[in-house]
Amino acid sequence: METISENACFGGVQGVYRHASAVLGCDMTFGLFLPAEARRHPVPVLWYLSGLTCTHENAMTKAGAQAHAAAHGLALVFPDTSPRGDGVADDDAFDLGQGAGFYVNATRDPWAKNYRMWDYITDELPRVLMAGFALEEDRQAITGHSMGGHGALSMAMQLPGRFASVSAFAPIANPTASDWGRKQFTAYLGADEGTWAAHDSSLLMLEHGFRGDLLIDQGASDQFLDLLRPEALAHAMAARRQSGTFRMQAGYDHSYFFVSSFIGEHIAFHAKALAK
């Protein structure tokens, strides 16, 4: 693993690292914030999955999360959103290919060779992190924004017991019924819609629910509401009688101004769950 940078940050260290991914077949870069406590003992982990077009860098530099994580003694992981490199398949559209991995394991060409983001986030990168840094494997939580919110919710519900809590900012909540989902699932997984349900948080909520603490924030002035379909997830939570909080935040849009406005509450929410 290569250290790209390490900077002092709120008493801890914000690092950026690169490693060779056997799962994705390319080099991958991730950000990791370690609070001061990590110098003395392993610390709990909060994963932050980013949205379309993002790299590891967007949330790391725009969300303002490190100060809140430092206050609670939490590590923050900022993975990339897709495989990258000259030999990795791509598309001219911003919402397919590099920067748009959708946190699935692609099964269709030309994507299947590299686009295995589900396995990367749930298996390979955790092994890299736990082997290389002072992190508690049995105390993890997950959050994400937009496409990353879709990934966080899908992983939390598909991997019971892995995460003590899950939250999301403006998640793509019903991708099987949205152009932010149907297009990508067709490309990555094929036309059989039966294979898509495992990556739709509204459908997963109806089938599985989540045994842990759950928090969703959605901007009521989000310019992408028709693509995100938050009402589908809210209805699924009500139908299942899922415990948790779903908040429509008046006046907020889809930007990192929205994320940074509520990231402190989300981190405090996860810290409380991880302390149980």
What are the pLDDT digits (tens) for 95-132?
Answer: 999 999 999 999 999 999 999 999 999 999 999 999 99
Q: What does each C-alpha distance from 185 to 19, 54, 163, 198 come to in angstroms?
A: 27, 19, 25, 11
Q: Is 68 a catalytic residue?
A: no
Q: 3-state class of 203 per DSSP?
A: helix
Looking at 56, 72, 199, 254, which residue is catalytic?
Answer: 254
50 in catalytic set: no
Confidence at 156, pLDDT banded by 50, 70, 90: very high
Who contacts 201 (Cβ-Cβ below 8 Å, separation ≥6)? 150, 153, 154, 157, 171, 173, 174, 233, 236
Cα separation, 162 vs 102, in Å, equals: 20
Confidence category of residue 242, pLDDT binned at 50, 70, 90: very high
CA 206 – CA 136 distance, rounded (Å): 31
Q: What is the pLDDT of residue 227?
A: 98
The side-by-side arrangement of strands in the sheet containing 75-78 is: 2-9, 12-21, 26-34, 75-78, 43-49, 135-144, 165-169, 213-219, 245-249
Catalytic-role residue among 146, 178, 201, 202: 146
The confidence score (pLDDT) of residue 135 equals: 98
Q: Render pLDDT for 201-214 as a digit per residue (tens, 0 to 9).
A: 999 999 999 999 99
Active site residue 222: yes
Q: Residue 46 is inside which H or E element, if any? A: strand 43-49
